[in-house]
Structure 1
């Protein structure tokens, strides 16, 4: 099943069910007005949403209309909790080697950080930047949205609570990353609003691409129309279930919690490329002593997309432009 939220002037938008080919949609108000409402009552909402989805794909659903991703908000425009991981240790290893960083990282303990969850950005919305001197960067990630998870749940129980999967551009302002990290209390100015794909899908939509709690598909990135990378999600050092279990060790996770994977990074980076500029620039430091790839600047456009084995887009594309912020 594929779900999206369309703009209607409200903070949470209106929930629609989207066809598998992403061409059509139907209003889901008869089941749940918003995705927040659907997540709060998933066991009750899911059958009705599935019924709409099946009829939409069969071409028998009344009220179907053309799906326009430019009208989409983030699938869950705001939520109670967004946590981001750094689940691809290859990314951290590259950064540490390039810049001689010393990181206290206990063996086997995943890296997680609480993030902003009150203002997600839609897939085609312009992204406002206060200053280009803040070293604007993109970060391609996978993300999951979960149902209620009880404190102390196992990794298997947590994985079973994953209801939806999507992709994100977790924008970073690199000028602030190291200073804020050294303060020892998490990121603020380094991590502004996160951008979401137009569609979130149930795990079954990925077929063999969802295995061992990981999205084992390529994430394709392009900058200004030019392909830059296509790393695969299979190399996560912790599965989403394991990350959620660590997060839920001594707390309940409420329905609608979003968990990001962290920058997708593969050991064969020379072949598949990097999902963020910081990693690309670090590789340039290691290879030639200095970075050469510039940070993002005004008017640049980024695109993120995942396709299935038949070349069909799964989540739709994040396709947005970076612009100077106006007050």
Structure 2
């Protein structure tokens, strides 16, 4: 089934069920007011949501309406925990070769980081950031939204706890990223809000593309209407089942946790392209001795979409414009950041 959240002014939105073709929708408030509430009561809510989804697809849902992705927030507008991985080791290899050839890492251990989870952006929201000098970047990723995962869950059992799959743009500010990496803790200014496609789907909606804990489909990325890349998720070095088992080694994971894949990256990047600017710039540095692709500027537009074998959009598209942030006070965000550095 496919689920989304209408922007009602409430921080968690209002849960709706969306048809498979993304054309129709119906409110699900009689089952659960929000997606977060449904996740907390999944055993009861899921069968009822599935029945409503079936009725909607059969044209039998009362009070159905035309689906408008512009009216949606992120499917899960906020949650208690977001952990992002860097699970495509090819991306790490390219970045290391370009900038830190002396760096060594253990390819058997996934790279994971705690992220901001209290303010996700919707699929068509303007994305405001303070300063072009922050070197604004994007990262095309997929993520899974989990149910309760007991401590010690094994990889073989982990995928049973995946409730939904989603698509997102993990915005990065590269100027701050390298500085914060060097400080040794985690990202703050380097990783502002993440933007999501309008719809989250249960794994069965992916069909054969959901294999080995991976979404084995192309992630199509366009910058200002021009194709930037379409890497495939099959080359994810750690499947979601392996990432879940690693995180749950010594802790319980609670319903609603979001786990990201990291930016899509393929070995045959000359053919597939990339899903982030940093990787493209690193490739240019390796090939030409310097990067040529500019960071994002105000007014630019990005689009992210993933389609099934029938060319039907699975999650709907993220299609958003990047704009300059405005503030109530007179001090700019760049001045604030500098005063704290």
Normalising by the residue count of structure 2, what TM-score does the alignment of the two structures yield? 0.95
Change (3 A) 1:149 1:180: same
Q: Which structure 2 residues correspond to residues 113-262 of structure 1 after superposition, within 5 A? A: 113-262=113-262
Deviation per CA, 1:10-46, whole angstroms, max 9, x where unpaired? 1001000000000000000010000000000101100
Q: Secondary structure at the match of 2:141?
A: strand
Structure 1 CA distance for aligned equivalents of residues 104 and 289 of structure 2: 25
Deviation per CA, 1:44-68, whole angstroms, max 9, x where unpaired? 1000100100000000111100110
Match of 2:66 in 1: 66
Between stretches 251-260 and 156-165, larger displacement belongs to 156-165
Deviation per CA, 1:232-291, whole angstroms, max 9, x where unpaired? 000011000100111111010000000000010000000000100000000000000000
Match of 2:319 in 1: 319
Deviation per CA, 1:182-203, whole angstroms, max 9, x where unpaired? 1110111100000011000000
Structure 1 CA distance for aligned equivalents of residues 71 and 107 of structure 2: 44
Over aligned residue pairs, what C-alpha RMSD do you find? Answer: 0.8
Residue 110 of structure 1, CA deviation: 0.5
Change (3 A) 1:107 1:232: closer
Match of 1:47 in 2: 47
Residue 161 of structure 1, CA deviation: 0.4
Structure 1 CA distance for aligned equivalents of residues 82 and 156 of structure 2: 21
Q: Secondary structure at the match of 1:181?
A: helix
Q: Secondary structure at the match of 2:158?
A: helix
Residue 157 of structure 1, CA deviation: 1.8
Structure 1 CA distance for aligned equivalents of residues 300 and 265 of structure 2: 23
Q: Secondary structure at the match of 1:279?
A: helix
Consecutive unaligned residues of structure 1, counting only runs of 5 or more, are none
Match of 2:331 in 1: none
Q: Secondary structure at the match of 1:249?
A: helix
Residue 160 of structure 1, CA deviation: 1.0
Structure 2 CA distance for aligned equivalents of residues 118 and 100 of structure 1: 33
Residue 104 of structure 1, CA deviation: 4.8
Residue 158 of structure 1, CA deviation: 1.5
Q: Secondary structure at the match of 2:250?
A: coil
| 1:267 matched to 2:267 | yes
Deviation per CA, 1:166-212, whole angstroms, max 9, x where unpaired? 11100000001111111110111100000011000000000011001
Structure 2 CA distance for aligned equivalents of residues 101 and 182 of structure 1: 16
Question: Would the aligned equivalents of 2:155 and 2:245 in 1 still touch at CA under 8 Å?
Answer: yes
Normalising by the residue count of structure 1, what TM-score does the alignment of the two structures yield? 0.99
Q: Secondary structure at the match of 1:241?
A: helix
Structure 2 CA distance for aligned equivalents of residues 194 and 176 of structure 1: 16
| 1:91 matched to 2:96 | no
Q: How many residues align?
A: 327
Residue 100 of structure 1, CA deviation: 2.3
Consecutive unaligned residues of structure 2, counting only runs of 5 or more, are 328-341
Structure 2 CA distance for aligned equivalents of residues 176 and 7 of structure 1: 31
Match of 1:281 in 2: 281
Structure 2 CA distance for aligned equivalents of residues 256 and 17 of structure 1: 18
Between stretches 159-168 and 95-104, larger displacement belongs to 95-104
| 1:82 matched to 2:82 | yes
Structure 2 CA distance for aligned equivalents of residues 297 and 216 of structure 1: 31
Residue 103 of structure 1, CA deviation: 3.9
Structure 2 CA distance for aligned equivalents of residues 100 and 38 of structure 1: 45
